[in-house]
Structure 1
Amino acid sequence: MRRSRSRHDRRPRDPARRAGRRIISAALGLLLIGATADTARDAFWRWIDATPLPMLAVQTGTEVLARDGSLLRAFQVEDGLWRLAPPAAGVDQRFQKMLIAWEDQRFDEHDGVDPRAVIRAGLQALRHGRIVSGASTLSMQTARLLERGPTADWGGKLRQARLAMALERRIGKEGVLGLYLRLAPYGGNTEGVRAASLMWFGKEPTRLTPAESALLVALPQAPEARRPDIAERRDTALLARNRVIDRAETAGILDAEAADLAREAALPTKRRAFPKHAALMSERLRRENPGALRIETTIDPQLQRTAEALAARAVANMSDRVSAAAIVADHRNGEILAEIGTAAYGDTPRDGFVDMTRALRSPGSTLKPFVYALGFDDGLIHPETLIEDRPAIFGRWQPQNFDRHFRGTVTIRRALQESLNIPVVRVAEALGPARIMAVLRRAGMQVEVQGGTPGLALVLGGAGISLRDLVGGYAALARGGQTIELREQPFAGDEPDSTRLVSPAAAWQIGSILSKLAPPQGRQAGRVAYKTGTSYGHRDALAVGFDGRFVAGVWLGRADGTPVPGAFGGDVAAPVLFDLFDILGPRRKPLPPPPPETLVAANPQLPLPLRRFTPAGGMSAGAATGLAMLPASDPLTIVFPPDGAELEMTSESIPVRLRGGVPPYTWLLNGAPAAVASPDVATQITGAPGISELTVTDSTGTTRRARLRMIRP
């Protein structure tokens, strides 16, 4: 006789079978509600509509977009997640079909819960003694992602089902799918299909290959276990992806050939960094537009990427602390097309968090064109006006040319092209530094000088100005003297007022002079009007220029202001400037012809007052107030060796000494340079045995000679 078992010695029921019975019971309950009277059904849906909903506004990161809508830079949300809104162009339709075929084949038919799937999952659990397949719809998965709470318990599943049906009634199928596309987990701190597509494929999910779509469908089910960038998990990722491809082929989404090709496609082997183009500009715009999710810009994405590569290449062979900055703009409308604030963004030796397009730095000689343009407008000078490039004292200041050589009498054209210092200071002295400062600021250049009061040193770089403002000033010259505001965002309202900086004729004359400068590296002359600059101590190397449509500027140096020995604007910045114009290609326009009122004439044909520069008051050059020619105390004389001397050579060099004249001095031995631009009256030169001729020339052009014979002892 069999003994009946008591309540205490019964075997525990199988959890999977118990779950299966509950699932079936829930499905039957849902079916029963659908089949009951209208009153009960209405009460059920009122209960669904009363479901407390979590916040449906999913936070996504700020996006800074190029002019074509492509992503320049994305920012993480506050909790450190990479989560982005689906692209404006939409997500690949084939991906969405594959997602529905894999996750929820009757997505378009049910109300948030699929009773058929519930019954199937319950029967499978009863039959196999374990949970074989889930019954969660896409709507239920979205509900779980929204709540971010535990759902393994029975109560959690019911809450999920209620919320899923409430979501469908509130926001519809498209709204539910949109939430899923934002919230689906893809491992680590990445959520949403757009962030995942950028991370795994480096592309927007608007157009995906079948293999890419299948991987993005498979990953959310087990994002860490299926990571294709980890060798031990690649097989798992491959199997999961190929099962999705199999389902897509069965559903008719892919034909056999496309499915075979997709199965053969390689998996990505690494996670990609999110785009960070125009990184510093993007950070600034996000600060200036708090709360904005999409920030549109005028940046040309291809030009931006190429310009960033040019900046990185420019400093590649220099000290690892040298950085670079560049701006390219369309001076017809002021739109900035490329903006590079650093050669290497990030916490790098190049100070990659410092935006050198906005930093105040010395402009070197790049302000000289504005001085001459004002002189043209005032009738003080013409490009063919003669002016003195000789040593002079301005008050207690005695400027020199960069190479310490003086050219004597030159034209204004030559003085600007060779960037001579004395002529531009003479013109600036006649105009007045306060007026020059006012005109520069009228052009939108926030020029800062020590003490606040400008002096003549302003025109030789003795001031602080940003690259952005400098490029804006050159844009005015390119536009015939009419100012324009540079901008990296489309105008939301009316365009700002423009003011006249200089006359069209003066602006054209400047462009004509600068376009005749020999371009670097043998490029064609006459296409770009440009000026270079090197600040005192080689702290800043600059080049700024324009053609008939574009204006651009380049800066190289160290962000901390430390000198970069040997860095000249013409050597390091100008080649990058011309590279920028080269990549603009067929969009470029030639420089314009002269305005009708422009006086184009040689010096002898000029009106008498314009033939030679004479400051206000009619005094000769060098005699204006505060200006005096530097006197030579004694006539230039070679003291040693005297003419006809015979010297024994005890070494390869011999001492030479002179008296009088105006420094610097240049020594020649038999016509070859022996000591160039020497500031001292005594120096050493290298000679050889035999009869030689020694020549010295001072800065005024005065020359003395001595013949000597050098012999071995």
Structure 2
Amino acid sequence: MNAAAPWRYVRSLWPRFRGVAVVLFLFCVIAWGLDRAFPLPPTPQYSPIVTAADGSVLHAFLNPTQKWRMKTELREITPALRKAIVAKEDRWFYWHFGVNPFALVQAAARNLFGRGRTTGASTITMQVARLLEPKERTVGNKLLEIVRAVQLEAHYSKAEILQLYLNLVPYGGNVEGVKSAALLYFQQPPDYLSLAQTITLAVIPNRPRGLVLGRNNGAVRRERNRWLRRFGAEGLFARQDIADALLEPLEVQRHAAPTLAPHLARRLVRQHPRQAIIASTLSRSKQTKAEDLTRNYVRRLHELGISNAAVLVVNNRTRAVEAYVGSADFQDAFTQGQVDGIQAVRSPGSTLKPFLYALAFDRGLVTPKLVLPDVPTNFAGYRPENFDKHCNGEVTLERALAFSLNIPAVRVLSEMGVATFTDKLREAGFQRVGRDAPRLGLSTILGGCGASLEELTNLFVTLANSGRYAPLQWIVSRPNATASPARSKGEVALVSDGAAFLVTDILSQLTRPDLPVSYESSTHLPKIAWKTGTSYGRRDAWSIGYNREYTIGVWIGNFSGQGAPALTGADVATPLLFDLFNTIAYNSPNDWFQPPASLDFRLVCAETGQLPGANCPNQLIDYFLPGTSSTQRCEHQKEVLLSADGRYAYCRACAPVAGFRRELYPNMLPEIVAYKETQGIPYRRLPPHNPECQLVRGGAERAPSITSPLPNTEYVLNRGEKQQLLLSCTTDNEVRQVYWYVNDRFLRAAAATERVFFRPAPGPLKISCADDHGRNTDIRVIVSEL
């Protein structure tokens, strides 16, 4: 047969069917035009719900029309629910195109001749059309309903139409949809219901006013059992399943909608306003435990004038937030419980010190055993004090961090530079610090900036993750996901793994003042690294801790900003932190952080923590970062030339040719000498310098340093008060006496560590200080009177 014959045959048929094709084409064009001209009603407005990582509902909100209409997902429509609804409402649902013609003819005959039960022959699709556009029941509206049903079938699959139906069916009052009814009456999602509960929800929509759960349970149970027997007779479900369902009692009442994690729920709904279901990373069990612990703990603090707290729990491995407690009681308007303490910007106190020291490790400025001065110091006008108002003279860095000493921290920040520190905080997501950076000074490290619990907690998550920073995760990547959160942007290495470990190692030590008294010998002390903080005026108490698995941040205080005498991180925040770890992370693996390969050990001088010099007999082992840590040699002792009787010291210029001896003396900073002098701490003092020496030893760098007043500063004195100006300085430890001059006129002589007060005349002043070795320092200030 010729291959072209079939095509010739088809062409021969074309004239016969051309008219039919044209009619079909015109019909499709008209249908498309009508569909565009009269689009389907918008999808229903759902009640926003926030779910936990396992899919359970944490918090639900009314929709904009004040109805409970929670979206039922396709996966939540169980085979039992689907079979019951289809068998009861529309047996030919999967076979028709939105309208069942035979049912329409049958219903028309019944209604016309009055035989049998009057019915509208509505399919499930037609019911969806009516629920989307409620109208009065008239013949015209019925025809429009039929058209809409066909339109729905053209736009949606059968599964989606059934889903729409189950989201719109009424259950009395302001409850609509299977999921809303399941949660509000059975406190379970639809896919967790028993067969009896499923059939109960299938039969109520036909009589939502007469079959009200919690009010007409007897009538509902009878109707349920009637349909169960009918389904059993039709073989829709197994005989034993029907028998068990018939015996199931029906004792239900309406419950309140879930209200866990109210602060995070509102935050996520604001961020995703058009999303019906927001899948958060929260763990339902951890959230419940954290809320209960926080609420009960704060109740015990009320008598101390403390009314609120906030808690954040983060999984270190995924950075997923697993518990989010914005306040102790969201419903307590008196204590401003609706304020979100996780996002509230407060003074962070001392909680930034670990990050500062980690940065200092990476810049080679310090090592754990390095000795730092802890004495009253004037940093260009800023005079910090330790929390207990006490100075320790000299301390190692690890002790300065473990005891949260302020003065050493300010010294390290001064050496590093405030801009360097705030730039790193900006990289770590500190928004207020980023905005205020140009105005921030050395007080930043003691809480002189603004930070939130969210930012601070993630900073400690960074330390727990070997110094790598990434944003916290709030929602999972898929609504049905139970493990992995949405992927974040690339991680940023803020500090090295070695620096992060050194900080962790120090923060996990137990010999520290912020260990609560009740835990000193407790077996319930968790294995964590933690840091406390207390803001100025005792307005904020912080305690943030971490192990390998979790980081938990705790803030306690009053949202009004009112301070309280008992409000300190150690006394009130850390006990809650320990309780949270013992409750939430009790089954965490018992492994701990291990030193990374970037760290090594070396011997250092026990007196200074520096590499041993020529006169360092006492040495100990210290961590260091090879290629980064300082290699400066220790010079804690200096060689001094003495007269034979030890009464005088010589400089190189005045030392005799013979008749002198060499001895080692402490080589201390001037501020350390001044501290020992004022505190009466004995130390080995240099003998006076050779009185016959006529040369000035040393240079400008060894001259006295005037610590008060500050150079180039204006001082305003009140005429009505006896205010005076303070003169003080620091000098080398061999200086015994200094001489003060004002405008080149001698004022008085004083001991090197003595504080001198005088009342100057208004105007510009030149203040000079000379020591007993002839070295001199000048500064200029302005004095005015009011």
What is the TM-score with the length of structure 2 in the denominator?
Answer: 0.65
**Residue 360 of structure 1: CA displacement?**
0.9
1:394·1:628 contact (CA, 8 Å) conserved in 2?
no
**Residue 622 of structure 1: CA displacement?**
5.9
Structure 1 residues 281, 601: closer, same or farther in 2, change over 3 A?
farther
**In structure 2, distance between residues paired with 1:88 and 1:102:** 19
**In structure 2, distance between residues paired with 1:106 and 1:568:** 70
2:542·2:573 contact (CA, 8 Å) conserved in 1?
yes
**In structure 2, distance between residues paired with 1:125 and 1:185:** 29
Match in the other structure for 2:63: 77
Deviations 1:86-130 (CA, angstroms, capped at 9, x unpaired): 2252312102212223333444455523635864796599678x9
Structure 1 residues 172, 469: closer, same or farther in 2, change over 3 A?
closer
Structure 1 residues 405, 125: closer, same or farther in 2, change over 3 A?
farther
2:449 to 453, 463, 485: 463
1:62·1:74 contact (CA, 8 Å) conserved in 2?
yes
Match in the other structure for 1:209: 194
Partner SS, residue 203 of structure 1: coil
Match in the other structure for 1:304: 287
Match in the other structure for 1:428: 413
Match in the other structure for 1:401: 386
Match in the other structure for 2:570: 570
**In structure 1, distance between residues paired with 2:205 and 2:243:** 23
1:475·1:484 contact (CA, 8 Å) conserved in 2?
no
1:198 paired to 2:191: no
Match in the other structure for 1:515: 508
**In structure 1, distance between residues paired with 2:633 and 2:426:** 28
Match in the other structure for 2:458: 472
Structure 1 residues 324, 139: closer, same or farther in 2, change over 3 A?
same
1:607 paired to 2:655: no
Partner SS, residue 192 of structure 2: coil
**In structure 1, distance between residues paired with 2:548 and 2:265:** 28
**In structure 2, distance between residues paired with 1:542 and 1:125:** 78
**In structure 2, distance between residues paired with 1:194 and 1:217:** 12
Match in the other structure for 2:219: 236
Aligned AA (2:168): L
1:501 to 494, 500, 504: 494
1:317 paired to 2:300: yes
Match in the other structure for 1:593: 594
**Residue 205 of structure 1: CA displacement?**
1.0
1:533 paired to 2:528: no
Match in the other structure for 1:278: 261
1:385·1:611 contact (CA, 8 Å) conserved in 2?
no
Deviations 1:471-495 (CA, angstroms, capped at 9, x unpaired): 2222232233333332324689985
**Residue 186 of structure 1: CA displacement?**
1.6
Match in the other structure for 2:556: 556
**Residue 202 of structure 1: CA displacement?**
1.9
Match in the other structure for 1:640: none
1:267 paired to 2:250: yes
**In structure 1, distance between residues paired with 2:525 and 2:400:** 19
2:83 to 97, 116, 120: 97
1:358 to 307, 327, 343: 343
**Residue 566 of structure 1: CA displacement?**
1.3
2:671 to 623, 638, 646: 623
1:343·1:350 contact (CA, 8 Å) conserved in 2?
no
Structure 1 residues 321, 156: closer, same or farther in 2, change over 3 A?
farther
1:385·1:412 contact (CA, 8 Å) conserved in 2?
yes
Aligned AA (2:285): Q
**Residue 465 of structure 1: CA displacement?**
0.6
**In structure 1, distance between residues paired with 2:369 and 2:46:** 62
Aligned AA (1:599): F
**In structure 2, distance between residues paired with 1:458 and 1:194:** 51
Aligned AA (1:591): W
Structure 1 residues 481, 139: closer, same or farther in 2, change over 3 A?
closer
**In structure 1, distance between residues paired with 2:552 and 2:54:** 21
Deviations 1:165-206 (CA, angstroms, capped at 9, x unpaired): 554465454343222112111222222112221222222212
What is the TM-score with the length of structure 1 in the denominator?
Answer: 0.72
**In structure 2, distance between residues paired with 1:453 and 1:98:** 68
1:514·1:530 contact (CA, 8 Å) conserved in 2?
yes
Partner SS, residue 532 of structure 2: strand
Deviations 1:488-539 (CA, angstroms, capped at 9, x unpaired): 2468998534444333332211110111136664256683111111222322
In structure 1, stretches of 5+ residues that fail to align are: 1-37, 637-713
Deviations 1:214-239 (CA, angstroms, capped at 9, x unpaired): 22112212223322223xx3333333
| Divergent runs of 4+, >6 A | 45-51, 124-128, 491-494, 610-614, 633-636
2:203·2:224 contact (CA, 8 Å) conserved in 1?
yes
Partner SS, residue 323 of structure 2: strand
2:526·2:578 contact (CA, 8 Å) conserved in 1?
no
Larger displacement relative to structure 2 (373-382 or 351-360): 373-382
**In structure 2, distance between residues paired with 1:114 and 1:523:** 76
**Residue 356 of structure 1: CA displacement?**
1.5
Structure 1 residues 120, 463: closer, same or farther in 2, change over 3 A?
closer
2:102 to 115, 120, 130: 115
Structure 1 residues 239, 286: closer, same or farther in 2, change over 3 A?
same
Partner SS, residue 143 of structure 1: helix
**In structure 1, distance between residues paired with 2:486 and 2:525:** 40
Partner SS, residue 557 of structure 2: strand
Structure 1 residues 48, 242: closer, same or farther in 2, change over 3 A?
farther
Larger displacement relative to structure 2 (563-572 or 393-402): 393-402
RMSD (Å), alpha carbons: 4.1
1:228·1:267 contact (CA, 8 Å) conserved in 2?
no
**Residue 139 of structure 1: CA displacement?**
3.2
**In structure 2, distance between residues paired with 1:307 and 1:279:** 13
In structure 2, stretches of 5+ residues that fail to align are: 1-19, 478-484, 613-631, 638-665, 683-786
**In structure 2, distance between residues paired with 1:216 and 1:256:** 20
Match in the other structure for 2:737: none
**In structure 1, distance between residues paired with 2:167 and 2:317:** 40
1:387·1:409 contact (CA, 8 Å) conserved in 2?
yes
